[in-house]
Amino acid sequence: MKILMIHSKNMEFSKKAIATSHPQEFDKDKIKLEGLILAAFVSVEDQDTYDVNIIAHQGAQVIMDAIGQIEEFPSKIKEQNEDIKEYNRKIEEGKISGNKKQKKELILDENLYKVEKVVVYPWAHLSKFLSNDSNASKVCPKIADILRESNVEAIHSPFGWYKSFKINCLGHEIAEMYRVVNLYIQPEEHVENAAFKIITSDGKILDLNYNKDGSIDYPQEISSDDLSDFRDFLDAEASKKEKADLGIEPAHIKIMHDFQLLGYDPNADAGNFRWYPKGLIIKELIRKHIEDRVIDFGALPVDTPIMYNVKSKKLIAQTARFPARTYWLISGNERFLLRFAGDFLQFDMLSQMNLTTDDLPFRLYEFEQYDFRREQKGELSGLRRLRAFLMPDFHTLCKDLEAGINEFKLQYDLDKKLLTEYNLDSYLIFRTTQDFFKDNKDWIIRLIKDEKKPALIELWEDRYYYFILKFERAVLSATGESATLATIQIDIENSLEYITQNGVKREKYDIKVKDDEGNYIHPIILHNAPAGGVERILWGILESAERNKDTLIPGIKTWLSPIQVRILPISENQIEYAESIMKELNKKGFRVDLDDRNEKLGKKIRTAETHWIPYIIIVGDKEKENHTVSIRKRLINQPYRPKKRTFKSTQNVKIEKLIEILEEDTEGFPKYKLPKPYRRVSTKIDFR
């Protein structure tokens, strides 16, 4: 909705001719209003009439806020003048230095800063993307009704007529205002009276209590030193104590710049990154890794558009929850939303399919490149929170809740395995209703006990969103911030034809599956982000490495490392031999480079160590003569060896054995070729 408000001395409008097929009643040729009028010209847009009551209340609130601004303006000027008077007095007394300020004067007499009547006037000229007449015609009368209920004298100009109008803008400081009103459905995940509990690794349920300052009063059962990270996680997720902004740049940003993985692009919107070759290798490997695992699990891959219109109420129901985070795309005379998730078009597709219970569980997977969420600028945080991101999205239709729970358990293990394959240690969160937990706590506790680590439980009095259970695997940053990677939700709502909220029917996706008797059922839907968004996975890898750098050797697993092997010839005498090894290993699908610089071996080793290269291959005259290599393997994510050693050395290894070692280390993981300019350190391109 768009609203142009003009504060006027008197107003009149006259009917000229019928403009639509169903005009509203207009029993007078002319309507004339005297006094101080706020004329609100309203354009009702396509998505606004998802719910006339909601958008009308929003529009009425905007008008009432404008009335408040106008009527309070003289008082604000007086307050500002008192501040100016005090400021000037301090200058006169020599308490501060500077120039005196001039007092502000109202343009008009203060008695004119009042609103005696409001005219809500339907006006199609503020937007190209208008709602249909039958819906739009209901909005202005509704706004006027709401204003009258708030003791504001208001009328609406009848919809569906060509009209002339006369207006006399008062021309004061805020006599003209323009407002964009985005349809906003209060997110139902806003939970009141949530209670947190802890389930220990042996299955004991503990209440989470707080000290007077809002900090967590940790139970004795989780006070041991080996659970210090879990306590940091609880602080990040459940503490009521206000957290100080440390003003520290996230640790992963320096690493991603130093390693030339990603970078900011000054020409793009904030929260969008450019990927350099080594970062792109990681991105593509993560994409292929998750895709391989999910397809092996039984999913069908699909790809849906990144944009959709807002003409369907079942789509608006989702997008209108976060209007401030929406990107709009204008195409000719139409506008489209850039998706913030793939659910909506996937569900719409599922609603058009002919499925039977024999097809269940029906698993659908999409690698979403890209999703868009216009996060507020202060919320952006490197790879942790962006405006454009890559999201693996996995949905499963299940026959009923029992089948959904069984599928949940299988996907729980899938996500656990995925994060383990990135060397990510995650923390468990279950969010659900008190009733669901009471009925299902046995299998939830069994999952926690099997994982041998404690978990956080959030319990609600009622269900506030489409899911009955939401499970999250979170990772901690170097500074103790928590962010969710993998998440699974049991959705009991979106497959229905409609739901009723506050007495109003809300259209859903009407996904139907035919059972053995020929009847249609609405399946349970599992939502799964296996391992989380690609950027956040990389965030977790880099932040975890930095967080644990004093106790565990930092690095990226061999299969995912942009450079898996670096060959270091001791002198020029071994360059040709080293190059032959490099070429052979690259042909085998490994990413291998050659440090052919004229530098001492020690410096070459330090450079490779600094870049977390998993395998350093050293060749000298002895290795050249014997057709062998010496291996220096980085012990990634393992405790440091004595004297802070980060590697294990093996001498006199045949090339065939080296290939066997590398194949064993990367077995079952995707491969990606190393670009030729990156196969020699001397020819690497510097992107910074």
- The pLDDT tens digits for 305-351 are 999 887 777 777 666 666 668 888 999 888 898 998 999 999 999 99
- What residue ranges of the chain have pLDDT lower than 70? 186-192, 317-324
Beta strand pairing call for 300-301 and 362-372 = parallel
Q: Report in angstroms the alpha-carbon separations of 293 from 35, 40, 299, 394, 419.
A: 71, 56, 9, 11, 12
Residues 6+ apart with CB under 8 A from 118: 37, 38, 39, 40, 63, 67, 144, 147, 152, 153, 154, 155
Measured CA to CA, the distance from residue 676 to residue 594 in angstroms comes to 11
Measured CA to CA, the distance from residue 107 to residue 77 in angstroms comes to 11
Contact, 39 vs 121, CB < 8 A? Answer: yes
User: In the structure encoding, which two tokens stand for residue 531, read together?
Assistant: 């391992």
User: In the structure encoding, which two tokens stand for residue 344, read together?
Assistant: 């909506």
> Which amino acid is residue 402, in one-letter code?
E
pLDDT, tens only, 173-226: 999 999 999 888 764 444 567 899 999 999 999 999 999 999 999 999 999 999
Question: What pLDDT, on a 0 to 100 scale, did the predictor assign at position 242?
Answer: 84
Question: What pLDDT, on a 0 to 100 scale, did the predictor assign at position 311?
Answer: 78
Measured CA to CA, the distance from residue 528 to residue 398 in angstroms comes to 13
Strand partners, 164: 14
Contact, 635 vs 646, CB < 8 A? Answer: yes
Residue 492 CA, chain-centre distance (Å), reads: 22
Question: What pLDDT, on a 0 to 100 scale, did the predictor assign at position 48?
Answer: 86
Question: What pLDDT, on a 0 to 100 scale, did the predictor assign at position 313?
Answer: 74
**Domains located in the chain, CATH noted:** 2-180 (3.50.80.10), 195-239+251-303+340-542 (3.30.930.10), 550-683 (3.40.50.800)
Question: What pLDDT, on a 0 to 100 scale, did the predictor assign at position 459?
Answer: 96
Measured CA to CA, the distance from residue 427 to residue 222 in angstroms comes to 14
**Buried b / exposed e along 391-418 (16+ C-beta atoms within 10 A):** bbbbbbbbbebebbbebbeebbebbbeb
In the chain the first and final C-alpha atoms are separated, in Å, by 45
DSSP H stretches of helix in 498-620: 534-547, 575-587, 601-610
Q: Return the percent helix, strand and coil in the chain, to nearest 5.
A: 35, 30, 35
> Which amino acid is residue 237, in one-letter code?
E
User: In the structure encoding, which two tokens stand for residue 30, read together?
Assistant: 């002319």
Contact, 619 vs 567, CB < 8 A? Answer: yes
Percent of the chain exceeding pLDDT 90 equals 84
Measured CA to CA, the distance from residue 433 to residue 468 in angstroms comes to 7
Q: Report in angstroms the alpha-carbon separations of 664 from 311, 584, 658.
A: 53, 17, 10
Residues 6+ apart with CB under 8 A from 550: none
